[in-house]
């Protein structure tokens, strides 16, 4: 089954998150990740939902039936901007810290906590980059890992691109 | 500035919506609303169970086309309402349910009679509201009625905590609707209409496959005109019975699991299905992979999610059934109806060779099909016929000649036993001048008979024919056909209850017919009574099975016509 990214604009109303997750569950669509937050318009929230489903027509149509769902955009993973934040605590005996810091530098990861036994990194980036980081530090021992879920938006293809940034 | 309570605002808002009747049961959390209703012209009908109130609201909506309203208290009352809500959702019945809730400060504390009503009913409603401020009431009620009645109709629930009902507010006329996420498409796009006309022109064996959407959209006249203008035969699903008169030469009756041979086979052999207001339900298609294999599909529905859900159409049309048919008619305009001699002859030959049939022996047990036909003959097709769920429902749909829309009320999508009696009451309240007759199974009847007390107490003279075959007949049929006749938990016995005494105890007239010759007279007697509800028990053949039949998930090509054809 393939993963699809939906950017869903919803009215900022009570239970809207429950409505969406309940609907997806009821219709048998598997939610891979879901990130929600306010938008520039305070009456609206934006959700980025990553769904596993063979095809998206039904998912989108069923979501559209929810009264509080205002707009749904399916984002093409090839052309959209995707980011995720991960906090990851890795075992780091004093002798290993240097190696870990090196890996961190390559990934522009920030160390946000250090103890005698572990280091905690903050990694921001595309999901692939985050996964690569996880694989690289796995041999050291992952103590704890948390991800924000993906957020995404389409690239501005209407106005001429000045420069591809980040 | 004068203020009023949230409860009074609620009743005022209902009055503004033109509500004439509310079906309900009071209780602690909803108490505040039961006081101002005393001063309102709105009639309140005290159901004996909240499920009854819900189905009454549905029956009312079915018969009148207006939004049915049910009002109950919190907790167990709200959960009792879940079945009618789920029923109304799948059958697209416009309904507004009002539930009391414990006070906002108690919500979330497992307070007495607290249930998470909006959570429980989220997947059973088109939309629901939890109101936290009495000032929201006018707008919420306006929105709820709008959502219930427009687009694909359905149930909307409003949950009102007691302190919100008791709180004070200044009445204001509802603001302009602000529903940025709710904009049903009503008008069909012109392009698919053109494409549809091209397919219609090119087809040799077209069939119009129509259902509840035609009834809901009041599109029956346009349907008839389109069918006649294009000379295309019409099958009407269980939900669409009455969309075209059954005595019309182009009417083929009901398709599906218990559809007649012609309706089923015409769809199987069609080269074009014009599907309007239907959802390719599994009870119609059988195995979707073998359904109408040679047919191209035009699918029109007001709910875009139905289009392509089961079968991807060649021409999708989103829109209200009546608007779609009007557009199709205007594009077709002026053309002569094609002869279609070969196809119509084929269909007519099937009708002649494979009619529905049963055999009523004069000395044998009463055949249920015979009761339906006699009832139809004596009560007339202008009767509003309401049905339960089971074999009797299929016989009612097969053998009754429907001539108008909104004269057939049943629970199709959810298949809710216990629907008939309360739905008949709701229909009669909405259409007091019409004859309302329910056909119910003994099993179904025993699920909600107490609502006949409501009918007696409120002076709602419905009639109920109980088909007493002493069994959960439909389940028994499946056990006979698919479980080698090992009957498990389907025997209800024919002796208890004594329906005549039970009817009498509930303030109704009780009648019974045990032999074929008693059928007609019992019906006539029932028709002569109009001051009280009547229950007529027909003791019917326990062994009778519903045919034709396509086994669940099977191919419609393998339709079994009668017991003799069983493999
Ligand atoms: C609430 C509910 N419970 C169970 C069923 C399963 N069911 C479908 S038909 C049927 C038997 C109905 O019996 P009866 O009302 O006597 O009708 P008959 O088939 O005998 O005509 C049952 C139990 C159902 N549809 N609804
Ligand atoms: Mg029965």
For residue range B67-108, list pLDDT tens digits in order. 999 999 999 999 999 999 999 999 999 999 999 999 999 999
Q: How far apart are CA B29 and CA B39, in angstroms?
A: 20
Q: Which residues of A touch B (CB under 8 A)?
A: 10-11, 14-15, 18-19, 22-23, 26, 57-58, 61-62, 64-70
Instruction: Output the CA–CA distances (angstroms, integers) from residue A95 to A91, A108, A116, B344, B489, in the order listed.
Output: 11, 21, 11, 88, 72
How remote is the CA of residue B212 from the centroid of ligand 2, in Å? Answer: 26
CATH 3.90.550.10 assigned to A81-152: no
Token digits for B376? Answer: 């139809």
- Which residue does chain B place closest to A10, by CA atoms? B181
| Whether residue B482 lies in the annotated active site | no
Token digits for B410? Answer: 């049943």
| Whether residue B17 lies in the annotated active site | no
* Pocket flag, ligand 1, residue B474 (CB < 6 Å): yes
Query: Which residue stretches of B308-358 are H helix?
Result: 321-332, 341-353
Q: What is the CATH code of the structural domain delimited by A2-75? A: 3.30.70.260
pTM of the model as a whole: 0.96
Q: How far apart are CA B233 and CA B210, in angstroms?
A: 11
What values do phi and psi take at B468, rounded to 5?
-90, 90
pLDDT band at A159 (very low <50, low <70, confident <90, very high): low
How remote is the CA of residue B416 from the centroid of ligand 1, in Å? Answer: 8
pLDDT at A77: 83
- For B368-547, the fitting CATH number among 3.80.30.20, 3.40.50.970, 3.40.630.30, 2.70.98.40 is 3.40.50.970
Chain segment B159-208, per-residue pLDDT in tens: 999 999 999 999 999 989 999 999 999 999 999 999 999 999 999 999 99
- How many Å is the maximal CA-CA distance in chain A? 57
Given a cut of 60, whether residue A163 has pLDDT beyond it is: no
Catalytic residue among B50, B373, B374, B451: B50
Q: How far apart are CA B340 and CA B208, in angstroms?
A: 14
pLDDT, average across residues B1-18: 95
pLDDT, average across residues A92-112: 95
ipTM: 0.92
CATH 3.30.1600.10 assigned to B3-170: no
Chain segment B340-394, per-residue pLDDT in tens: 999 999 999 999 999 999 999 999 999 999 999 999 999 999 999 999 999 999 9
Contact assignment for A22 to B305 by CB distance below 8 Å: no
Given a cut of 60, whether residue A160 has pLDDT beyond it is: no
CATH topology (fold) of B190-353: Rossmann fold (3.40.50)
Chain segment B279-325, per-residue pLDDT in tens: 999 999 999 999 999 999 999 999 999 999 999 999 999 999 999 99
Better-scored residue on pLDDT, A153 or A55: A153
pLDDT at A164: 46
List residues bridging with B440 in a β-sheet.
B466
Catalytic residue among B474, B506, B545, B549: B474
Which regions of chain B carry the CATH code 3.40.50.1220? 190-353
| Whether residue B538 lies in the annotated active site | no
pLDDT band at B2 (very low <50, low <70, confident <90, very high): confident
Query: Which residue stretches of A77-165 are H helix?
Result: 97-106, 127-137
pLDDT at B566: 86
pLDDT at B556: 95
Which atom from ligand 1 is nearest to the alpha carbon of B446?
15
Domain spans of chain A, in order of start: 2-75, 81-152
Q: How far apart are CA B513 and CA B515, in angstroms?
A: 6
Q: Count CA atoms closer than 13 A to B267's CA, side-chain side.
A: 33
Q: Which of B472, B481, B494, B545 is the best mutation target for the ligand 1 pocket, counting ligand atoms within 8 Å of the beta carbon and taking the most?
A: B472
Q: How far apart are CA B424 and CA B26, in angstroms?
A: 22
Which regions of chain B carry the CATH code 3.40.50.970? 3-170, 368-547
pLDDT at B368: 98
Given a cut of 70, whether residue A165 has pLDDT beyond it is: no
Given a cut of 60, whether residue B114 has pLDDT beyond it is: yes
């Amino acid at each position: 089954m393939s993963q699809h990214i939906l950017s869903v604009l919803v009215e900022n109303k009570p239970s809207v998150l429950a409505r969406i997750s309940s609907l997806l569950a009821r219709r048998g669509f598997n939610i891979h990740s879901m990130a929600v937050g306010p938008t520039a318009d305070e009456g609206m929230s934006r959700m980025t939902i990553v769904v596993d489903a063979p095809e998206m027509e039904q998912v989108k149509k069923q979501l559209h039936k929810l009264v509080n769902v205002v707009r749904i955009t399916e984002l093409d993973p090839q052309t959209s901007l995707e980011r995720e934040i991960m906090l990851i605590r890795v075992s780091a005996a004093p002798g290993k810290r240097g190696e870990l810091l090196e890996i961190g530098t390559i990934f522009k990861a920030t160390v946000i906590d250090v103890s005698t036994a572990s280091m905690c990194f903050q990694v921001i980036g595309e999901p692939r980059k985050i996964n690569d980081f996880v694989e690289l530090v796995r041999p050291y021992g992952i103590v704890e890992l948390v991800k924000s879920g993906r957020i995404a938006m389409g690239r501005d293809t209407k106005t001429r691109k000045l420069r591809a940034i980040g | 500035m004068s203020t009023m309570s949230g409860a009074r605002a609620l009743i005022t808002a209902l009055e503004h919506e033109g509500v004439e009747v509310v079906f309900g049961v009071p209780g602690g959390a909803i108490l505040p609303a039961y006081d101002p209703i005393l001063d309102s012209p709105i009639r309140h009908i005290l159901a004996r169970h909240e499920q009854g109130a819900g189905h009454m609201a549905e029956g009312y909506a079915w018969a009148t086309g207006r939004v049915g309203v049910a009002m109950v208290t919190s907790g167990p009352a709200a959960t009792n309402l879940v079945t009618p809500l789920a029923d109304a959702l799948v059958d697209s019945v416009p309904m507004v349910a009002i539930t009391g809730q414990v006070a906002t400060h108690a919500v979330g504390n497992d307070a007495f009679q607290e249930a998470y009503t909006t959570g429980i009913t989220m997947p059973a409603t088109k939309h629901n509201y939890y109101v936290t401020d009495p000032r929201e009431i006018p707008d919420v009620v306006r929105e709820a009625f709008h959502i219930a009645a427009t687009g694909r109709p359905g149930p909307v629930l409003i949950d009102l905590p007691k302190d919100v009902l008791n709180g004070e507010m200044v009445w204001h006329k509802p603001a302009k609707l602000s529903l940025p996420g709710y904009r049903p498409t009503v008008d069909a796009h012109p392009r698919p209409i053109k494409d549809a006309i091209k397919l219609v022109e090119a087809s040799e064996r077209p069939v119009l496959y129509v259902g509840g959407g035609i009834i809901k959209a009041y599109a029956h006249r346009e349907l008839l005109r389109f069918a006649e203008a294009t000379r295309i035969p019409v099958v009407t699903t269980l939900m669409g019975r009455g969309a075209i008169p059954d005595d019309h030469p182009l009417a083929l009756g009901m398709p599906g699991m218990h559809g007649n041979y012609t309706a089923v086979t015409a769809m199987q052999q069609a080269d074009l299905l014009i599907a309007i207001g239907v959802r390719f339900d599994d009870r119609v298609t059988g195995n979707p992979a073998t359904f109408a294999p040679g047919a191209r599909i035009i699918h029109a529905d007001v709910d875009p999610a139905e289009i392509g859900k089961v079968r991807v159409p060649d021409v999708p049309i989103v829109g209200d059934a009546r608007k779609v048919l009007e557009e199709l008619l205007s594009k077709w305009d002026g053309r002569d109806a094609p002869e279609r001699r070969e196809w119509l002859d084929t269909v007519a030959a099937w009708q002649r060779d494979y009619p529905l049939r049963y055999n009523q022996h004069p000395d044998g047990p009463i055949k249920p099909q015979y009761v339906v036909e006699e009832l139809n003959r004596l009560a007339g097709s202008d009767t509003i016929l309401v049905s339960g769920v089971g074999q009797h429902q299929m016989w009612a749909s097969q053998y009754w000649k429907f001539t108008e829309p909104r004269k057939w009320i049943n629970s199709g999508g959810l298949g809710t036993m216990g629907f008939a009696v309360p739905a008949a009451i709701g229909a009669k309240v909405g259409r007091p001048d019409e004859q309302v007759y329910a056909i119910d199974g003994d099993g179904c009847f025993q699920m909600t008979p107490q609502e006949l007390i409501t009918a007696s107490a409120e002076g709602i003279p419905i009639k109920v024919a109980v088909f007493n075959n002493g069994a959960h007949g439909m389940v028994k049929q499946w056990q006979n056909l698919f479980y080698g006749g090992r009957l498990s938990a389907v025997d209800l016995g024919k002796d208890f209850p004594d329906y005549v005494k039970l009817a009498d105890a509930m303030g109704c007239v009780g009648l019974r017919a045990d032999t074929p010759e008693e059928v007609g007279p019992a019906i006539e007697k029932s028709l002569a009574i109009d001051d009280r509800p009547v229950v007529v028990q027909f003791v019917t053949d326990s062994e009778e099975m519903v045919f034709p039949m396509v086994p669940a998930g099977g191919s419609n090509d393998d339709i079994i016509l009668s017991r003799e054809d069983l493999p």
